[in-house]
Amino acid sequence: MELKRLSKELLAAKKTAQETFLRSVLQNAGNCWSEFYKYVKRQKENREIIPAIKDHNGMIITGSTEKANILNSYYTYIFYCNHNNPKIQLANSGETLIINTEIIRKRLAKIGRKKTVGPDGVPGEILKLGGEAMAPFLARLLEITLKNASIASDWKKATVGSTYNGGDRLAVTNYRPISLTSVVCKQLERFIAGYLRQVWDKYDWLHEGHHGFRPGYSCESQVITVCQDIADSLDEGVGIDVI
């Protein structure tokens, strides 16, 4: 009886706290919306993302292990590669990829403390806290990795989750995989991405109409460009084809 009474009191106190919080947000509109969105996000995280899913025979599966196996089979089928890709010979650009310790130090400072841990078990918080002392050693590790052209086995792994994309929640095809990889390896990936941007900007490899994955460009800049092209064509009275 005492346990039931305490449980009821706890639920009542929780409900009162939620109502008080939401009331304070509405009374101070514009001043604490960030806290409101954090609250909504926490409520969403507490929900089971995939309560049930259908297998290939149309049977509804609710067991966690069975659901994981079905999603794993689907993602494996979608992303299967036979490794028979032809080798591409590229000319040397002459640009040297240098692991800059100062850049690493700045990137470590930007790592979120709540960054999800990858398969290597190295949390972002450790990298962030040890940034000043750890940067030279991390730079050396990345240099050795590039020099040996070899990636650590844990860096090749990912913890894969699923996010709902819309449509029938029971259909496995409506869930997109989210891969959580090594935070350390991501630092190497960012250096390589920066190197590629440096090379293609210097040699003007990208067309001016390419807006994806480029600093200073975005979906918004692409839409603005397209709208401007259409407006110019209307003003000039010429035809325009859109694909």
Above 60 in pLDDT, residue 204? yes
3-state secondary structure of 226: helix
Q: Closest by alpha carbon to 108, among 88, 133, 86?
A: 133
Give me the pLDDT at residue 89, please.
Answer: 56
Above 50 in pLDDT, residue 24? yes
CA distance 227 to 240: 12
Above 50 in pLDDT, residue 46? no
Question: Band of the pLDDT at 224, cuts 50, 70, 90?
Answer: very high
3-state secondary structure of 60: strand
Q: What is the pLDDT of residues 25-40, one digit of tens each?
A: 777 655 666 766 776 6
Residue 205 region by backbone torsions, left for phi larger than 0, else alpha for psi between -120 and 50, else beta:
alpha
Above 80 in pLDDT, residue 1? no
Decide if 52 contacts 62 (C-beta within 8 A): yes
Please list, in sequence order, all residues whose beta carbon lies within 8 angstroms of the beta carbon of residue 111, skipping any fewer than 6 positions away. 124, 125, 127, 128, 183
Question: Band of the pLDDT at 228, cuts 50, 70, 90?
Answer: very high
Please list, in sequence order, all residues whose beta carbon lies within 8 angstroms of the beta carbon of residue 74, skipping any fewer than 6 positions away. 172, 173
Above 80 in pLDDT, residue 235? yes
The CA–CA distances, whole Å, from 6 to 15, 17, 18, 138, 237 equal: 14, 16, 18, 51, 75
- Share of the chain residues as helix, strand and coil, in percent rounded to the nearest 5: 55, 5, 40
| Domain boundary assignment for the chain | 1-47, 206-243
Helix axes 131-148, 183-202, angle to 10 degrees: 70
**Cβ burial, residue 11 (10 Å; 0-12/13-18/19+):** exposed
Above 70 in pLDDT, residue 171? yes
Q: What is the pLDDT of residues 108-147, one digit of tens each?
A: 888 877 777 888 888 888 888 887 888 888 889 999 998 8
Higher pLDDT, 208 or 96: 208
Q: What is the average pLDDT score of the chain?
A: 82
* Mean pLDDT along residues 57-81: 85
